[in-house]
Amino acid sequence: AFAIGEARSVMSVSRGSLIMHSRDAELMRRADAFGEVGPAQPLMARLKQIFDPAGILAPGRFVI
């Protein structure tokens, strides 16, 4: 998880990001797949609400 955080910090300097597409259970517990969403979070939450009002798609995994 430390290496993931370190890589995300380095990438954020150039406005990049790091998303984990697969990870084992231990890493899943310790590190978020998407990282910090930043100022786009309210927009993403609103889009999720519009397209998934029942909250059935990937509940608790992204944005909310």
pLDDT over 80 (residue 27): no
28: number of CA atoms within 13 Å, CB side?
Answer: 8
Q: Tell me the H-state helices in the chain.
A: 2-13, 25-30, 41-51
Share of residues in the chain with pLDDT > 90 (%): 12
Q: Is the pLDDT of residue 21 over 70?
A: yes
pLDDT attached to residue 8: 81
Residue 15 in this model has a pLDDT that exceeds 70: yes
